[in-house]
Amino acid sequence: MSRESVAQSESAEDSRRPAYGAGRVLIFVYGVFALSATARASVQLIRDASEAPLAYSLSALAALIYIAATVAMAHNGRRMRRIAWITVSTELLGVGAVGALSLWHPELFGESTVWSQFGAGYGYVPAVLPLLGLFWMWRSSPARIAHT
């Protein structure tokens, strides 16, 4: 990619609405997960924080990541898109790491988290959601669309 084409793609104004069709559904699902993870983590931390501090802290971290991903994916700006890439990638790594650890060393957690056993408690949606998010962001990337 030449400097000229990079400059053109960076200076091109993206006048599209933030999301269409499947993108809106994906952002809605992220919003639902942001709300449910926040509610779950809040109740767990307020009521039973000492029972399983690692599990409940990871649930709170998942909630923050879902909130940031939802907000960032709902916007079309360059900075917000970068934040979305970072948060959704972090989510994927978190689901993988927590999912694997919860299977190999369940004694570490005490209680389940949103990401335990790759999101088994949520129908494995937490494992699939970041993959769909990354695919949608790649597919709807203004730079990729302008380049083609």
What DSSP string describes 51-92?
T-HHHHHHHHHHHHHHHHHHHHHH--SHHHHHHHHHHHHHHH
Q: Decide if 90 is inside a domain.
A: yes
Q: Which two tokens stand for residue 112?
A: 């389940």
Q: Look up tokens 């939802």; give the residue.
A: 70
Residues 6+ apart with CB under 8 A from 127: 95, 99, 118, 119
Residue 40: count other Cβ atoms within 10 Å of its Cβ.
19
Q: Decide if 66 is inside a domain.
A: yes
Q: Decide if 12 is inside a domain.
A: no
Q: Is 4 a residue whose pLDDT tops 70?
A: no
Where is pLDDT greater, at 68 or 40? 68
Q: Decide if 14 is inside a domain.
A: no
d(CA 129, CA 33): 10
Q: Decide if 15 is inside a domain.
A: no
d(CA 86, CA 134): 10
Q: Is 18 a residue whose pLDDT tops 60?
A: no
- Domain assignment of residue 125, given as a range: 20-142
Mean pLDDT of 128-148: 82
d(CA 10, CA 77): 11
Q: Decide if 1 is inside a domain.
A: no
Mean residue pLDDT across the chain: 85
Q: Is 11 a residue whose pLDDT tops 80?
A: no
Q: Is 39 a residue whose pLDDT tops 80?
A: yes
Which pTM does this prediction carry? Answer: 0.81
Q: Decide if 115 is inside a domain.
A: yes
Please say whether the beta carbons of 98 and 116 come within 8 A.
yes
Please tell me the total count of domains within the chain. Answer: 1
Q: Decide if 10 is inside a domain.
A: no
